[in-house]
Amino acid sequence: MAMTDPLADMLTRIRNAYRAGHDKVEVPSSRLKMGVSKVLKKEGFIKNYKLIQDNKQGLLRIYLKYSDEDQPVIKGIKRVSKPGRRVYAGYDNIPLIRGGFGVSVMSTSKGVVSDKEAASKKIGGEVLCQVW
């Protein structure tokens, strides 16, 4: 069966891995998922990520981050723009997540960036997901 929303699958795997207490999670790789992982690492939500080559499309291994009390760093992760309903935002009306404690991941003409980076570069785009 063909997957209609690979990014939602990645976010669900991350959410489930945190709930199960895993140290890492593997997802099929793509450039979009690599970009989202890069933003999550830059914003401090995950430890690291690594591309593992195989004879197919490759695997993206994401190393999850926990606090000193073994609590997940990511409290919530939500897909915003879906295949059935795309959500776009200009740089001047990017939604504020959890009073500024969360991050919107956006796909722009300059690549996949965080909401803060998109606002500083004055570029808008598609709001992929929100993380807090």
Q: How far apart are CA 21 and CA 46, in angstroms?
A: 14
**Residues in the chain, overall count:** 132
In the prediction, which pLDDT does 55 show?
Answer: 86
In the prediction, which pLDDT does 95 show?
Answer: 84
Q: What average pLDDT score do residues 15-37 get? A: 96
Distances (CA, A) of 73 to 21, 86, 101, 111, 131: 12, 27, 12, 25, 10
Give buried/exposed letters for 7-28 (b at 16+ CB in 10 A, else e).
bbebbebbbebbeeeeeebebb
Query: pTM for the whole thing?
Result: 0.91
Residue 3 reports pLDDT greater than 80: no
Dihedral angle over CA of 33, 38, 44, 50, nearest 10: 80
Residue 1 reports pLDDT greater than 80: no
Residue 23 reports pLDDT greater than 90: yes
Q: Tell me the pLDDT tens digit for each residue of 94-120.
A: 888 888 899 999 999 999 999 999 999
Residue 5 reports pLDDT greater than 80: yes
Q: Tokens standing for 21?
A: 């207490």
In the prediction, which pLDDT does 2 show?
Answer: 63
Mean pLDDT of all residues in the chain? 94
Q: Could you give the domains of the chain?
A: 6-131 (3.30.1370.30)
Task: Assign 3-state DSSP to the chain and report helix, strand, coil percentages, each to 5.
Answer: 30, 35, 35
